[in-house]
Structure 1
Amino acid sequence: MNNTAKKSNQKATLMVQGATSDAGKSILVTALCRILRNNNFNVAPFKPQNMALNSAVTAQGGEIGRAQAVQAQACKLEPSTLMNPILLKPNSQTGSQVIVHGKSIGNMDAKVYHGYKPNLLNEVIDSHKQLNDLHDIVIVEGAGSPAEINLREHDLANMGFAEAIDCPVIIVADIHRGGVFAHLYGTYALLSDSEKSRIKGFVINQFRGDVSLLQSGLDWLTQKTSVPVLAVIPFIENLHIEAEDSMQLGNLNSNNNSKNNSKDALNVCVIALPKISNFTDFDALSVHPQINLSLCKTPEQCINADVIIVPGSKSVIADLTWLTSNGWDKKINQHLRYGGKVMGICGGLQMLGNQILDPKHIESEVAQKDGLNLLDIQTTLTDQKTLTQVNATCVLNDESFDVTGYEIHAGISEGKAFDQPFCLINSIKEGAISTDKQIIATYLHGIFDSKQFMPAFLKWADFSSNTNIESAVNFDYQAFKEQQIEYLSQEVEKVFDVHLIKQCLGINP
C-alpha cells in the first residue's frame, strides 16, 4: 500500500476508549485513521492489548487482531505486529492463548495472566515508541472500558497505558445500548483525577433522528464533567467493516436482510461452532449480491442449503465433539446424499478427516477424536503454529487461477485426500477435493476475498442465475472493503472533522 504522507516534526498520540465493550472504538479508530490519511497525515493504528478470535497474519508471519489490520488499511499501511503487541485468543471460559509480538507464549488462565501483565507493560510501551518513531500520529484503541474496577490494577489496555505514555483520550459510547449519559458520566466518575484530566471529549455513536433532541443531555453532561461532547455520530446505513468480536457474529445474518431470497440466490450455511475463529472469512459471502448466508447453530436452522461450510475453530476437538453431539454429522451426510456441497476451512478441514490426534494435549485432555470420515486425512495437533500469508494457485473445476489467503493453525495434516489438492503453494499440494468433487477443504483463510475465487466457488456449487449473473461473477470484495472504509470516514468527518481531531491531538492547525 502507498505510504506517502506528510512528514512533520510534531509527534502525537490520541487514544479512543469506550464506555462499554462494543461501543464503537474499532470503527471510530478506523474512521479517524482514514480521515487523517486522506488529509495527508502520516498516521498508524495501535492497540496495546486485544482479545479476539478474529485475527490477521502479517507479512512477517505474526498474528494481530483483525481490527488492527482493517485500521492499517485505513492508514494505507501493511499490518504490523507493532500495531497490536498483545493478542489474547480465548480457548476456555477462563483462559486464553497469549500472543506477544505476533507469537504465542502459551496458554494462561485469567488469574495467571493478570499477575503476568506487569511483565508486558514495557513491551507495549516499546511497541508504541517504535510505531511513533515511524509515524507522526498514532491513533490508539482501548479495550473494554477504563472503568472496570476489578481490572484497574496492572492495566495496560486503557488508562494504564494512557498514563504511561501521557496521551490524550476520548471516550465513545453507543446510544443503541441505552443509558448513554449514564455510561459516559459513570465512566468519568470512576476515573482518578489524573485520568479525568486527559479526557479531551466524549463521542456518542450510532444516533438515529434529530440530534437537537439530545441537546439538553449534552449540555447536562458537559456541565457535570467540564468535558465537551465532540461529536454525535449518526447511525450509518448499510456499513460493512470487518469485525473481530464474536458479538458481531449476528451481522453475518443481518447483512442478508435485503438479499434476493429467490431461487436465483445461492444458499450457504456456515456452522456456528462455539469456538468459531476467523469468521471474517465469510464477510465476502455476506455482502455478495447473489449469496444468502446463514450462520446456523442447529441443523434445523440449516434450510435449503446448497453449501454447508465447517469453519475454523480455536478448539477443534471441543468443537468437533459439539458438532457431532448436536447432530451436524447426520445433517452433513444427508446433505451430501442429496447432492449438496460441503467446504471445510482450517479446523473444518481437520474435522472432515478421519481422526484428530492431540498427544501433547495442546487443546484438551482428549488424546484423539474421530472425525467425520469424509476425507482421508489425519491431523496431529502441535505446539508450533503455522502463520503465513499465502499466494497460491487454486485448481478448482479443472481450472487453475491465482488466489491469496493466510494460514493460521496448529496442526499437521496428512492423508491420501491431499493427492487431489485444492491448490498449489509453490508446487506443494494444499487442501483437498473429494473424488466426487462434492467436498473441498483448505487451510487457507481469506480465500473468499480473492476476486478470482468467487466465480469458481459459484461454479463448483452448481450456481446458475438467469438474472444479474455478471454482477455476481465480477463482485470484487477487496474494492468493496476499500469503498466501505471511505464511506465510513466521509460520514464521520461530517460531524468530527480533521480540525477537531487535530485539536484533540494537540497539534498545530
Structure 2
Amino acid sequence: MLKGALLVAGTTSDAGKSVVTAGICRWLARQGVRVAPYKAQNMSLNSYVTADGAEIGRAQAMQARAAYVEPSSDMNPILLKPGSDRRSQVVVLGRPLADVDAMEYYELKDRLREIALESLTRLRGAYDVVVCEGAGSPTEINLRKGDIANMGLARAADLPVLVVGDIDRGGVFAALHGTVALLEPADQALISGFVINKFRGALELLQPGLDMIRGATGREVYGVLPWLDGLWLDVEDSLALDNRPASAGLMPYGRQTLRVAVVRVPRVSNFTDLDALASEPGVVVRFITSPAELDDADLVVLPGSRATVSDLAWLRRTGLADALLARAAANRPILGICGGYQMLSRSIHDTVESPDTPDHVPGLGLLPADVVFKPGKTLGRPEGSAYGHPVAAYEIRHGVVTVEGEAEPFLDGCRAGATWGTTWHGALENNAFRRAFLADVAGVAGRDFAPAPDVDFAAERERRLDALGDLVARHMDTGALMRLIEKGAPPDLPVLPPAGV
C-alpha cells in the first residue's frame, strides 16, 4: 500500500494549491488509499466547524470531503483570521489563542511549529498518505526564517514539494524558475517538480516551454491541468472573488431571474455561504461595493465579517448603509448572516473583535436585536427548521444576539418584514430550505422565479470534486506522482545559481 506525504506549494496565492490538493486527495481516495489533507498554517476568513467543535480553514474541510474523511483540527492546526491590516486572531487546534500583530505572532512561532509538526505526525500515523498544502508562495524570502507552512515544513518533515503555477495570470515559466532560484540549496533539494494550472489552448504550443523549463531547472512538469469552467469550490480568501463566476446557471435577465447582490465588506468572511445560491438555475449572484449596484437586486445579502464594527462604519462611509435603510423602508428583501445580521441590529457592544473602534455603536436598526461580544467564541453545528424544513448549519461567532421586540424567529435569528437575520452559516446548503426561502424572496420581490426542484448542492459539490479527481487522473503523470509520495524528492536535483540571497 502506498505510504508517504507530499507538499503542494504555489508560485502565488490563488495559483490553485487548494484545488490541486483536493484533486490529488480525491484521486488517491478512489484508488483505495487512506488519505488526509493538511495545511500547517492558513490565513483565511473562510472557516468551518468540525464535528467536535473545532474551527479550521474551510478549504481543508473541502479537501477532507474530497478524501471521503471527516475534517479534524489536525488538518489545519494553525488558522490566522485577520481583523485588520495589522492584527489577526490565532486559532490553534480549533480554538482561539490570542489576537496578535506580526511581531507578537513571530514570538509564538517556535511553539506553533511544534504544534503543527505534532499534528502532521498524528495524521501520518492515522492515514496512508497526507497531502499537505503550502501557504502563499515558498519564496516569500523575507518570511523564510521561522516559516512553518512552506519550506520550513518541508525541511522539518522531509517532504517532496510540487510547485503549482497559474498560467492564466501570465509569466508562469518565470514564476516557476524564480521559485526555485530564490531558495537556498537545501530548500531547492526538495522542490521536485511543477504543475501548470488553468491552461487554455493547444498543448503542442506549450510543449517548447515545458521542455525549456525542464532544461533550465532539471525538474519535471508533472502535469498541465486545463481550465475547467463552472468549477467553484470553497476558497480561502477574497482574492478569488475577483475571478468568481456570477452564477452557475445563468438565464436571461427577466421576471424569471432572481438577482442577488452580496455586499463585499472589507473583512468579509465565510462568503462561501452564497455558493449554494449561485448553484440555482436562474439565480444571479454578484458581489458589490457601491449603492448603485443594489438598485436592481431582488435580494441583498450582508455576509459574515471578522470586523463587524469597522465594516459597519465602512457601510456608512460608502452610502451602502443608507441604501439598505431605503430598501427596508420599501419592504425589499435583505438577509444578514452572522456579522451581517449583527450589523442589522439596533446596537453593538464590542470590546473583543474590534478593539480599535468605539466600544458601543448603533447598528442599522432594521431588526429588533442587540449584540454583545464575549471573549469566548461560540463554535457549533446547530440544527433547526424553517419554512417547515430541517436545517443543519454551523456557527462561528463572538457576538451574542438578544432579540427583544416584534419579530418572527428565523434560524436562531429573526425576521421583521422583508429583513431576515441569522447567526448560522451554511444554512443555504440545505436544499428544501433554500428553495422555500428563495420562493419567499421572489414573492416579496415580485418575480416569477421558481426554484428548480431537483438542485442538490451536496451532489453538485461532489460532482466538482470528482471533476478535480478526473483532472489529476487524466492530466498528471500519476505514476510519477505516486513514486514522489512514496520515495520522496528525487536525489541529486540540480541547484540553481543563487539569485542574490
| Coarse TM-score class (shorter-chain normalised) | over 0.9
CA RMSD of aligned residues (A): 1.9
Read off the aligned partner of 2:435 and give its amino acid letter: P
Q: Are 2:410 and 1:432 equivalent residues in the alignment?
A: no
User: Greater CA deviation, 472-481 or 27-36?
Assistant: 472-481
Instruction: Give the drift of 1:225.
Output: 1.5
- Contact conserved, 1:294 with 1:302, CA < 8 A, in 2? no
Cα deviation, 1:351-405, whole Å, max 9, x if unaligned, reads 11110012457543311000111111111111111111122122x4xxx220111
Residue 288 of structure 1 corresponds to which residue in structure 2?
280
Q: Are 2:306 and 1:318 equivalent residues in the alignment?
A: no
Residue 503 of structure 1 corresponds to which residue in structure 2?
483
Higher RCO (Cα < 8 Å, 6 or more apart): 2
Q: Are 2:444 and 1:445 equivalent residues in the alignment?
A: no
- Contact conserved, 2:37 with 2:64, CA < 8 A, in 1? yes
From 87, 91, 97, the equivalent of 1:95 is 87
| 2:428 match: secondary structure | helix
1:129-208 correspondence to structure 2 within 5 Å = 129-208=121-200
From 469, 472, 477, the equivalent of 2:452 is 472
- Contact conserved, 2:38 with 2:130, CA < 8 A, in 1? yes
TM-score by length of 2: 0.93
Separation in 2, partners of 1:449, 1:380: 28
Q: Are 2:382 and 1:390 equivalent residues in the alignment?
A: yes
User: Greater CA deviation, 179-188 or 237-246?
Assistant: 237-246
- Unpaired segments of 5 or more residues in structure 1? 1-7, 424-429
Read off the aligned partner of 1:452 and give its amino acid letter: A
Instruction: Give the drift of 1:465.
Output: 7.0
Q: Are 2:450 and 1:458 equivalent residues in the alignment?
A: no
From 100, 103, 107, the equivalent of 2:99 is 107
Residue 48 of structure 2 corresponds to which residue in structure 1?
56
Separation in 1, partners of 2:480, 2:225: 14
Identity of aligned residues (%): 39
| 2:482 match: secondary structure | helix
Separation in 2, partners of 1:21, 1:360: 29
From 36, 39, 46, the equivalent of 2:38 is 46
Read off the aligned partner of 1:410 and give its amino acid letter: H
Separation in 2, partners of 1:155, 1:69: 23
Instruction: Give the drift of 1:22.
Output: 1.3
Read off the aligned partner of 1:141 and give its amino acid letter: E
Residue 493 of structure 1 corresponds to which residue in structure 2?
473
Separation in 1, partners of 2:407, 2:326: 26
In structure 2, relative to structure 1, the CA distance for the partners of 1:218 and 1:101 (3 Å cut) is: same
- Contact conserved, 1:256 with 1:293, CA < 8 A, in 2? no
Matched positions, count: 486
- Contact conserved, 2:3 with 2:485, CA < 8 A, in 1? no
Cα deviation, 1:444-502, whole Å, max 9, x if unaligned, reads 001111111111112221348768x4x62331111110111101211232111532321
Residue 496 of structure 2 corresponds to which residue in structure 1?
none
User: Greater CA deviation, 182-191 or 321-330?
Assistant: 321-330
Residue 73 of structure 1 corresponds to which residue in structure 2?
65
Separation in 1, partners of 2:399, 2:152: 37
Cα deviation, 1:42-62, whole Å, max 9, x if unaligned, reads 000000000011111111111
Separation in 1, partners of 2:190, 2:269: 36
Residue 390 of structure 2 corresponds to which residue in structure 1?
402
In structure 2, relative to structure 1, the CA distance for the partners of 1:265 and 1:506 (3 Å cut) is: same
- Contact conserved, 1:272 with 1:296, CA < 8 A, in 2? yes
Residue 125 of structure 1 corresponds to which residue in structure 2?
117
Instruction: Give the drift of 1:303.
Output: 2.6
In structure 2, relative to structure 1, the CA distance for the partners of 1:481 and 1:361 (3 Å cut) is: closer
From 234, 238, 254, the equivalent of 1:246 is 238
- Unpaired segments of 5 or more residues in structure 2? 489-501
TM-score by length of 1: 0.92
Separation in 2, partners of 1:308, 1:385: 27
Separation in 1, partners of 2:283, 2:255: 11
Separation in 2, partners of 1:146, 1:252: 25
Read off the aligned partner of 1:374 and give its amino acid letter: L
In structure 2, relative to structure 1, the CA distance for the partners of 1:359 and 1:64 (3 Å cut) is: closer
